[in-house]
A = this chain, B = another copy of it.
Amino acid sequence: MVHTMSLIHDDLPAMDNDDYRRGQLTNHKVYGEDVAVLAGDALLTYAFEHIASQTSGAPPQQVLKVIADLAKAVGAAGLVGGQIVDLASEGKEIDEQTLTYIHMHKTAALLEVSVTAGATLAGADQSVIERLKRYAQRIGLAFQIVDDVLDITSTSEALGKSVGKDVAVQKATYPRLWGLEESQRKAQELVDQAISELDGFEARSQPLIAIARYITARTY
């Protein structure tokens, strides 16, 4: 729900101004900008309502921890903060450190809480949670690198959204900093590092390994 909110607001004319998302007209193209702002607000809010009222079988204290973690991942210290730096960087030359800051906040932070929430609710050891965090940060960054690469190598038909826009608006991207080939190599390296964080989790970690592998395997 938080992800969908962020995409609806991200697509707004004042932000990325995207007309298509997953092959469909974006929310504001169909319902208008006013409704799109409100739909994003409602979905963001509903995420917290859902967790607070529908989480059973976990101690309330752990549920509160997940709510605080999610809020931190979305707010000024997370997704919103990354987006602000991203907007402020458009048209400027930025270094690798700034680009990584943007994506660790815009993309990886929400993945991090998505991956750790279950462990937190189950009362996992802090060491396990730290390993899951590193796993999520690495696949988050790899996802963004691949996203940047696909914006150059894929088609809008395959992706269901506009392509070539990053270059057009001179957006800072990994392929621009490193070139395509090195970007692909780094994404694979991050995925391998992510998977190595799961060593010893055995069969339970299979879905997380599959998700990590999918990051670099996807072509759209």
Interface residues of A (CB under 8 A from B): 5-6, 9, 12, 14-15, 32-42, 44-46, 48-49, 52-53, 59-61, 63-65, 67-68, 70-72, 74-76, 80-81, 83-84, 87
Contacts and interface: CB of A to CB of B under 8 A. Distances in A.
Contacts of A65: 52
21 contacts: A6-B41, A12-B37, A14-B34, A37-B37, A38-B80, A38-B83, A38-B84, A39-B80, A41-B41, A41-B44, A41-B80, A44-B44, A45-B74, A45-B80, A48-B70, A49-B71, A49-B72, A52-B65, A52-B68, A60-B63, A64-B64
- For this chain, the copies found in one complex come to 2
A178 to B, nearest CB: 27
Chain A interface helix/strand/loop/mixed: helix
